């Protein structure tokens, strides 16, 4: 950009005032962070200028930044302005670029139009016209809106230029329901690390200037506010109003930790050939403002003071800023890890699915084996117990055993609470019916051996339904666990694709395998019973002994009852012996039925001990528990057709955009972390920060501060 009459504003004077050598290193840290783009994601210390309309903010901003904003009274600020000063030592001339950051509340078309606004100035004198063009683009004008939620951004770049950001908010108006005022407050609230420059015009009573009320709302303790009084030359000499402003500037009424400062603003009607600094110096020398500490009056001392204030603010906020950057980097890294690697080629997509498969195998294996060390199994959710699949399976097996052992001997399907009493039957009576119905060439009192299997199958008929219900319950528990596992390691789109294309089909295959295994197992009981377990004959003998003992006990009781009445002689001893000997059964069919019932029930108890072990061990375990972790096995993924890999491993355009945004943020956070760490190591600072003596003094001032009468609505 060509030199102009205003280029001196960017000269060594402004730079020297803003960047004293003792503060330069720390200021450069924030400059580097801002240059990395960290300010787009994290609040960085900066200067925010706020004030009522026509308070002299534009003139003040020009003086601080060196950018000559228009000072015409009819061009009051009606939108937020962000001035970004950047250093580029390779430049010989200052470059200024003006852009618009559109408000997110605008329609998409308006945002696109405003975001495209960009003007590169050839001379500094073009700035007022460009700002007017920007205002027109925002819809500001006689027939447009009063304020805009958009931000005008000025990027000023030059050699030895201070890297600094100053935000100028629209002038506050006296309307409590004004939407723009609320947005200003929300904006300043969100910039908690920034220094607020509260501009108060001496042309109006400061008790009536809304900027002080709004400043208290966002900074109740006044710890990060510096009050600045402008236009002191508008006060009548020796007037009560002048006295009030003198007390204000001395921090005697409305107290701020950073205190107050007073500057004289150049007027747009003044002779532009006269140096503003000379006019200001003459004014302070001749007026009562000469009583103010020289360090708290004038533009030159203000620049020095702002440099020191900003330095102290950065020094104080750097520890928390570093923590926030580290935390943001960690969160962003976790988000990227959860999204997985970028997936554009078929190989990348296959690797992505393999990563999911490895994590799925690890968690499913732990769930099936009962290894609950991973945080996935922790107790902090309603479905956590369902994730511990081995515990669910073990408990379900125990319930299955208890139900089987308690099952009554009934015909038909089992369901003790649903089966009527008519379903129950006497095993011996049923055995007699079978002996009659299936009579062959066997001798009287014996029975066809095949009838043992027939009667046993009738007794064990409820087993099939009970075991199928048990298998279904375990399969459902396995699916709940599988869904929880896949949900914990990937996003909902990939989860649904995995469930639809791989996991659910595999689980259904496991269910069919379990059913087939169970059917094959139960087919053994459809054939003639075979067992070599001595428990069978022991059961038969035990039942017969118990039956004979009961019959003998009844005869003994009868014998002793009759002896008391009649008194039996020698014949009684013979009868006593006969009582101890089992009676014969003259009914040959009854004898055969009893023997058949004894063997069928004895085999029933042998078989039930087999099934309650075999269903869990030989049906559930091999068909489900050992194969569940291998649903997404690496070897299977390598053999998956490309179409299936595309369906599971591809990602949407939105997803790719999100990943790129996260990567960009992570790069910013990581580079910013390195910058912070380098500074800490080079200075020997710790991460806890410290308060300087000046800050502690200011803190004590605040501790004794009372609500000023001007904010209580009282007359001065």
594 within some domain: no
Same structural domain, 136 and 38: no
Residue 70 CA to residue 160 CA, distance in Å, equals 24
Same domain? For 666 and 644 the reply is no
- Residue range 19-54, pLDDT digits in tens: 444 456 777 777 677 667 676 678 888 888 888 877
Distance CA 504, CA 510 (A): 10
Domain contains 151: yes
Let me know whether 463 and 407 are in one domain: yes
CA 354 to centroid of chain Cα atoms:
25
Report the alpha-carbon distance of residue 600 to residue 453 in Å, rounded. 7
Tell me how crowded residue 631 is: count the other CB atoms within 10 A of its CB: 23
Tokens of 109: 């078309």
Q: Quick check: is 39 in a domain?
A: yes
Cα separation, 47 vs 167, whole angstroms: 6
Distance of CA 70 to the CA centre of its chain: 47
CB within 8 Å of 620: residues ≥ 6 apart: 393, 397, 471, 474, 514
Angle CA 461–466–468, to nearest 5? 105
Burial class (CB in 10 A: 0-12, 13-18, 19+), 507: buried
Distance CA 172, CA 54 (A): 10
Residues 327 and 377 in one domain: no
Tell me, what's the pLDDT at 187?
Answer: 53
Tokens of 570: 């020698």
Furthest-apart CA pair in the chain: how many Å? 157
- Assigned domain for 607 exists: no
Instruction: Look at the block and give the residue holding tokens 């009522």.
Output: 52
Is 616 in contact with 473 (CB distance < 8 Å)? no
pLDDT at position 693 is 39
Report the distance separating Cα 34 and Cα 84, nearest Å. 10
Q: DSSP 3-state assignment of 144?
A: coil
Give, in degrees to the nearest 5, the angle at Cα 171 between 231 and 267.
Answer: 30
Host domain of residue 467: 346-411+424-530+613-649
- What gap in Å lies between CA 713 and CA 207, rounded to an integer? 8
260 and 298 Cβ atoms separated by less than 8 Å:
no
Asked if residue 353 and residue 441 are part of one domain, the reply reads: yes
Q: Which of 472, 502, 402, 401 is nearest to 620 (CA)?
A: 472
What 3-state class would DSSP assign to 89? coil
User: What is the distance between the alpha carbons of residues 619 and 492, in angstroms, rounded to a whole number?
Assistant: 32
Residues 338 and 360 both lie in one domain: no
Encode 210-273 in three state secondary structure: HHHHHHHHHCCCCCCEEEEEECHHHCCCCCHHHHHHHHHHCCCCCCCCCCEEECCCCCCCCCCC
Q: How many domains does the chain have?
A: 3
Indicate which CATH number applies to the domain containing 280: 3.40.50.300
96 - beta bridge partners?
Answer: 121, 156
The H or E element that residue 397 is part of is helix 389-406
What is the C-alpha to C-alpha distance for residues 573 and 553, in angstroms, rounded to an integer?
16
Residues 332 and 274 in one domain: yes
Same domain, residue pair 351 and 337: no
- For residue 387, give the CATH number of its domain: 1.20.120
CA–CA separation, 603 vs 186, rounded Å?
82
- Same domain for 275 and 131, yes or no, is no
Low-confidence ranges of the chain (pLDDT < 50): 2-12, 15-22, 73-76, 173-180, 411-424, 688-716
Specify if 419 maps to a domain: no
Same-domain status, 196 and 138: no
Q: Residue 148: which region, alpha, beta or left (left: phi > 0; alpha: psi -120 to 50)?
A: beta
Strand order in the sheet with 47-51: 118-121, 95-101, 151-158, 80-87, 164-168, 47-51, 195-201, 225-230, 260-262
Does residue 355 share a domain with residue 486?
yes
Q: What are the distances in angstroms from CA 707 to CA 50, 221, 480, 692, 710?
A: 21, 10, 61, 26, 8
What's the burial of 180, exposed, middle or buried (CB within 10 Å: 0-12/13-18/19+)? buried
Residue 184 CB-half CA count within 13 A: 32
Contacts 24+ apart (CB under 8 A), 685-688: 686/319, 687/319, 687/322, 687/323, 688/319
Say if residues 519 and 394 touch (Cβ distance below 8 Å).
Answer: no
Residue in 51, 67, 30 with CA at minimum distance from that of residue 184: 51
Is residue 691 a part of any domain in this protein?
Answer: no
CA R_g for the chain: 46
Phi, psi of 708 (to 5 degrees): -65, 150
Contact between 248 and 206 (Cβ < 8 Å): yes
Q: Cα(325)–Cα(322) distance, rounded to whole angstroms? A: 5
Would residue 539 count as lying in a domain? no
Asked if residues 675 and 33 have their Cβ atoms less than 8 Å apart, the reply is yes
Pairing relation of β-strands 151-158 and 80-87?
Answer: parallel
Q: What pTM does this model have? A: 0.52
User: Are the C-beta atoms of 198 and 211 separated by less than 8 Å?
Assistant: yes
Q: What is the pLDDT of residue 186?
A: 53
339 and 350 fall within a common domain:
no
In this prediction, residue 267 carries a pLDDT of 65
Q: Which of 118, 137, 160 is the last residue of a domain?
A: 160
Q: Is residue 555 a part of any domain in this protein?
A: no
In the numeric block, which tokens belong to residue 106? 């605008």
Tokens of 140: 């500001």
d(CA 471, CA 478): 11
Within 8 A by CB and 6+ apart from 146, the residues are 78, 140, 180
């Amino acid at each position: 950009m060509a030199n102009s009459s205003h280029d001196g504003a960017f000269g060594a004077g402004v730079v020297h005032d803003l960047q004293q050598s003792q503060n330069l290193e720390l200021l450069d840290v924030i400059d580097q962070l801002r240059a990395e783009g960290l300010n787009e994601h994290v609040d960085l210390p900066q200067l925010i200028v706020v004030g009522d309309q026509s308070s002299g903010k534009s003139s003040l901003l020009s003086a601080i930044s060196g950018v000559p904003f228009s000072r015409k009274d009819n061009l009051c600020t009606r939108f937020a302005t962000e001035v970004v000063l950047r250093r580029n030592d390779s430049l010989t001339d200052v470059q200024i670029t003006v852009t618009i950051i559109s408000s997110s509340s605008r329609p998409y078309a308006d945002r696109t139009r405003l975001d495209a606004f960009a003007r590169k100035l050839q001379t500094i004198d073009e700035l007022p016209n460009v700002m007017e063009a920007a205002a027109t683009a925002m819809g500001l004008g006689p027939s447009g809106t009063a304020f805009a939620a958009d931000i005008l951004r000025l990027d000023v770049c030059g050699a030895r230029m201070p890297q600094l950001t100053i935000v100028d908010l629209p002038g506050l108006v006296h309307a409590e329901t004004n939407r723009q005022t609320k947005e200003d407050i929300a904006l300043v609230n969100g910039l908690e690390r920034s220094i607020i420059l509260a501009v108060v015009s001496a042309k109006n009573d400061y008790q009536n200037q809304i900027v002080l009320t709004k400043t208290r709302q966002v900074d109740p303790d006044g710890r990060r506010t510096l009050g600045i009084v402008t236009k002191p030359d508008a006060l009548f000499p020796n007037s009560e109003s002048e006295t009030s402003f003198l007390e204000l500037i001395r921090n005697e009424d409305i107290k701020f930790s950073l205190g107050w400062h007073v500057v004289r603003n150049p007027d747009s009607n003044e002779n532009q050939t006269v140096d503003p600094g000379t006019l200001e110096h003459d004014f302070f020398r001749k007026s009562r403002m000469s009583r103010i500490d020289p360090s708290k009056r004038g533009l030159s001392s203000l620049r020095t003071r702002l440099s020191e204030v900003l330095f102290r603010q950065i020094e104080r906020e750097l520890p928390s800023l570093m923590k926030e950057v580290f935390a943001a980097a960690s969160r962003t890294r976790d988000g990227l890890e959860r999204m997985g690697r970028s997936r554009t080629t078929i190989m990348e997509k296959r690797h992505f699915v393999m990563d999911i498969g490895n994590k799925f195998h690890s968690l499913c294996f732990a769930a099936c084996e009962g290894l609950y060390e991973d945080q996935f199994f922790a107790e902090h959710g309603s479905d956590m117990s369902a994730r511990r699949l081995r515990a669910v399976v073990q408990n379900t097996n125990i319930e299955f055993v208890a139900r089987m052992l308690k099952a009554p001997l009934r015909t038909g399907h089992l369901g003790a609470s649903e089966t009527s009493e008519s379903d129950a039957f006497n095993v011996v009576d049923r055995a007699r019916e079978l002996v009659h119905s299936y009579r062959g060439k066997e001798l009287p009192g014996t029975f066809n051996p095949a009838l043992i299997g027939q009667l046993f199958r009738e007794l064990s008929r409820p087993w099939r339904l009970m075991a199928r219900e048990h298998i279904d319950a375990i399969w459902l528990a396995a699916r709940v666990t599988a869904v929880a596992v896949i949900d914990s390691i990937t996003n909902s789109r990939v989860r649904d694709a995995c469930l639809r294309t791989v996991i659910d089909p595999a689980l259904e295959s496991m269910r069919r395998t379990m059913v087939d295994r169970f059917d094959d197992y139960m087919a053994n009981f459809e054939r003639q019973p075979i067992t070599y377990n001595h428990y069978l004959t022991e059961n038969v003998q035990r039942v017969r002994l118990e039956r004979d003992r009961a019959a003998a006990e009844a005869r003994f009781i009868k014998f002793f009852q009759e002896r008391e009445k009649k008194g039996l002689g020698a014949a009684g001893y013979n009868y006593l012996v006969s009582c101890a000997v089992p009676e014969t059964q003259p009914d040959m069919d009854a004898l055969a039925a009893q023997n058949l019932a004894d063997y069928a029930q004895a085999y029933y108890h042998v078989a039930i001990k087999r099934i309650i072990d075999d269903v869990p061990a030989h049906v559930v375990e091999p068909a489900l528990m050992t194969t569940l972790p291998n649903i997404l096995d690496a070897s299977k993924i390598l053999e998956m057709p490309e179409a299936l890999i595309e369906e599971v491993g591809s990602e949407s355009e939105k997803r790719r955009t999100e990943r790129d945004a996260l990567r960009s943020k992570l790069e910013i956070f990581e580079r910013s972390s390195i910058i912070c760490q380098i500074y800490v190591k080079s200075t020997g600072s710790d991460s806890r920060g410290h308060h300087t003596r000046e800050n502690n003094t200011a803190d004590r001032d605040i501790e004794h501060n009372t609500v000023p009468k001007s904010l209580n609505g009282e007359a001065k």
